[in-house]
Amino acid sequence: MPKWELTATSRSGQPVNLITGASSDTVAVYDRADLDRRLEAAKNDPRDLDVTVRDAR
């Protein structure tokens, strides 16, 4: 069972979901190391991402 749901939305409208082309996408995150890695990657993403994390439990 996932611990968190991470949603990333591009402030510039660029695609975040490469399959659908949507400017927003949500992924299930199962452990702290994965969450930390994704948050760090979002900081350096050129799409200017707005990231929210929600408790999935």
User: Per-residue confidence of the chain (57 residues) as pLDDT tens digits?
Assistant: 999 999 999 999 999 999 999 999 999 999 999 999 999 999 999 999 999 999 998
Question: What burial letters (b/e) apply to 33-51, b meaning 16+ CB within 10 Å?
Answer: ebeeebeeebeeeebebee
pLDDT reported for residue 22: 98
Domain ranges of the chain: 4-55
Phi, psi angle pair for 39, to nearest 5°: -65, -40
pLDDT reported for residue 4: 98
Q: Given the DSSP bridges, would you call strands 24-29 and 49-55 parallel, antiparallel or unpaired?
A: unpaired
**What is this structure's pTM?**
0.90
pLDDT reported for residue 41: 96
